[in-house]
Each structure stands twice: as C-alpha cells, then as structure tokens.
Amino acid sequence: GESVGLHLPTLSVQEGDNSIINCAYSNSASDYFIWYKQESGKGPQFIIDIRSNMDKRQGQRVTVLLNKTVKHLSLQIAATQPGDSAVYFCAENMGGGSQGNLIFGKGTKLSVKP
Amino acid sequence: KAGVTQTPRYLIKTRGQQVTLSCSPISGHRSVSWYQQTPGQGLQFLFEYFSETQRNKGNFPGRFSGRQFSNSRSEMNVSTLELGDSALYLCASSSRGPRWETQYFGPGTRLLVL
C-alpha cells in the first residue's frame, strides 16, 4: 500500500498495552480538533473529535485529551490491538465551519507488536 | 452503501503534462473536498465543492482546479505538472459539508510525476 509518511515519528507498543499519541497544535484560537487514523492503502478515517470547551472526550477504546494552556492534544488507545497499526494524525479547525479551515498534523506511525 | 471511490488509483505522468482525477462520493453526499498528501507537507486542503459550486479553496496555485457535476461526482485537474506535484490525492465526501464526523475519505490516487 501507499506510504503516507516516510519520516514520521514512530510509536511501537506491545499488543494489549495502552498507546498515547501526542499532537501539538498551532493556533490558540482553534476551536475544534479531530483525530484520524490512516491505514496503508486507505484514506483517513475519523476516530474522535473534541471541541475547545472540553478537555476530555471518550469513545470506544479511545480517549482524547485537550490541554489548551500548552496547545497539546493527545489520543489514548486502550488495549492496543494489531489492527490499530496505522498512521494517526490530528487536525485543528482554525475557525469557522469550512473544510478549508482544517489544518492537519504530519502524523505518528503506530506499530503494534503481537 | 458504497464508499467514496477514486479513479485511477495510480498514475504516472511527466513534467508539463496535465492530469484529471475523478471522485465519486457516497450516494446522497453533496459535498466533495480534495486534499493533497505528501510526506513533507502532510495533508493539505485543495478545495471543496458543494452542489456544483466551489465553496472553499486552499492555498494552491491556479494550476490546480476542480469541478463538480450535477450527480455530485467531482474531478480535479492539474495542468503543467511539476515534480513537486507527486503526491497522494484524496477526496472526501460529506452529506452537507462541514460536519467533520460525516466526512468520508476515498482511498486516494497516487500520482507520480517524472
């Protein structure tokens, strides 16, 4: 499949462990954040989102934490599975609801060891 | 329901040529957005179409253009190709535009410019 990032930071975890993927965003005025998962050969897949009036949001096996003070976003994956191996990247909405206002991070490659 | 489809999946062109990529959104979706993904720049927004009208445009030169047809299918065209245009081009569709969780990506078209 296609390689979406040749020089991405890589996180390697053991199956069953928890994973934490971090993202620093750029604009303190950004009001909406999204995490995407991109598997080899596929397009990005929405995982979870969070608005700036929240600091934590939970989904199925995933939790997103937002720290506006230091402009930091993290994605926690519980009980990581081999199927979680992918590139994960965050996106911030610089303001407004338009698709064009989304700024994407470069991504982190998650590798799950069985 | 069929997902977003993109054709062709792979393409090789030479500098100076032009290329047209096609995207068929999910049935019923009226918003189509195009993105360029490269290892160096990550995922960057090109433009969004909604009901045959360009609703938003990213910061790309005029060589990049697009259009949307009455059946919501979309094409993007790149004229006078440059080596730096080599990338994965992704399109995404959503039901009524900017609802991020409903934006579904296609598998992309991998363009290589020689």
The residue that leads in pLDDT, B64 or A99, is: B64
Share of chain A above pLDDT 70, in %: 88
Taking 3-state DSSP, the helix, strand and coil percentages for chain B, each rounded to the nearest 5, stand at 5, 55, 40
Q: A-contacting residues of B 35-54, CB under 8 Å?
A: 37, 39, 42-45, 47-48
Cβ contact, residue pair B43, A44, below 8 Å: yes
pLDDT value for A102: 76
Cβ contact, residue pair B39, A6, below 8 Å: yes
Grade residue A99 by pLDDT with cuts at 50, 70 and 90: low
Cβ contact, residue pair A99, B97, below 8 Å: yes
- A27-36, B23-32, B63-72: lowest mean pLDDT where? A27-36
Q: Is the pLDDT of residue A4 over 80?
A: no
What would the mean pLDDT of A10-29 be, rounded to a whole number?
94
Cβ contact, residue pair A4, B39, below 8 Å: yes
pLDDT value for B102: 63
Minimum-distance CB partner of B56 among A46, A49, A98: A98
What would the mean pLDDT of A39-50 be, rounded to a whole number?
91
What tokens does A28 get? 């303190």
Share of chain A above pLDDT 90, in %: 66
Minimum-distance CB partner of A49 among B47, B100, B108: B100
Q: Which of A76, A90, A88, A86 is nearest to A112 (CA)?
A: A86
pLDDT value for B104: 86
What would the mean pLDDT of B53-70 be, rounded to a whole number?
94
Please indicate if any CB of chain A lies within 8 Å of the CB of B25: no
Grade residue B98 by pLDDT with cuts at 50, 70 and 90: low
Q: Is A91 left (phi over 0), alpha (psi -120 to 50) or beta?
A: beta
Chain pair A-B, CB pairs under 8 angstroms: 69
Q: Is the pLDDT of residue A26 over 90?
A: no
A-chain residues within 8 Å CB-CB of B48?
A: 98-100
**Coil/strand/helix, residue B102:** helix
The residue that leads in pLDDT, B1 or A88, is: A88
- A55-95: pLDDT as tens digits: 999 999 999 999 999 999 999 999 999 999 999 999 888 76
A-chain residues within 8 Å CB-CB of B37?
A: 4
- A48-57, A92-101, B88-97: lowest mean pLDDT where? A92-101
Q: A-contacting residues of B 52-91, CB under 8 Å?
A: 55-58, 88, 90
What would the mean pLDDT of B58-79 be, rounded to a whole number?
96
**Contact indicator for B63, B80 with CB cutoff of 8 Å:** yes
- A1-10, A44-53, B49-58, B77-86: lowest mean pLDDT where? A1-10
First to last CA, chain A: 21
